[in-house]
Structure 1
Amino acid sequence: MELSITQPAANWFISEMDLSEGDFVRFFVRYGGHGGVHKGFSLGISTNNTPNDPATQVVKQGITFYVEKSDAWYFEGMNFHIKYSRKFDDIDFVIK
């Protein structure tokens, strides 16, 4: 699994979540919601939880974006790309 985030997407997270250099953004699997990858599961987002056992991580503007190994099953055989949609002024998760 590869994790990537575009600069505009990182800027969106920083602005929307009031993040500062040294902060963390975790993407985790949660039961319910609309995810599209695995029926009945979707992605959740939490901030400022120090990574315990990251499967993958990327640092943009001093912010660490990561997925723990315990949630890596959700992305098995796929890559996780995070982009910003100007049209919707929102984040777009691309998992393929």
Structure 2
Amino acid sequence: MKIIVSDEALEWFEKEMDLEDGDQIRFYARYGGSSPFHEGFSLGMNREQSTNPAVELKKNNTLFYIEEDDLWFFDNHDLHILVDETLNEIKYDYTKEA
């Protein structure tokens, strides 16, 4: 699987999360909400250091990653991180791995 971060999403992270060089953003399964794959779980995001990353993307000196323990959540789909221009917030899209 892959993480794909649009340029607009990267700008959103830099502005809204006040990112600095070397920061790391983790995407993880959290209890509550819903997702296209699992009722009762949704995608969470946090700035924290990786411990056992399974998927990584480095973009503009920021590391975006998913830990090994959270791979089950994505059901073999790539994670696309975009910006909802109307709401000015991050949105996620998932595509089946090729």
For 2:68 and 2:75, how far apart are their aligned partners in 1? 11
The equivalent residue for 2:29 is 29
SS in 1 for 2:21: coil
Unaligned stretches of 5+ residues in structure 1: none
Unaligned runs of 5+ in 2: none
Give the distance between the partners of 1:93 and 1:80, measured in 2 at CA. Answer: 7
Show structure 1 runs of 4+ deviating over 2 A: 34-37
Cα drift, residue 45 of structure 1:
1.1
Residue in 2 that maps onto 1:46: 46
TM-score scaled by structure 2? 0.89
Q: Which residue of 2 aligns with 1:73?
A: 72
Aligned to 1:10: 10
Q: What whole-Å deviation, never above 9, does each CA across 1:12-38 have from its counterpart, x for those lacking one?
A: 011111111100100111111232321
Structure with more strand by fraction: 2
2:82 alignment partner in structure 1? 83
| Offset at residue 44 of structure 1 (A) | 1.0
Q: Percent identity at matched positions?
A: 36
Alignment match, 1:57: 56
CA distance in 1, matches of 2:9, 2:20: 15
Q: How many residues align?
A: 95
TM-score (norm 1): 0.91
Contact 1:25 1:65 in 2 (8 A): yes
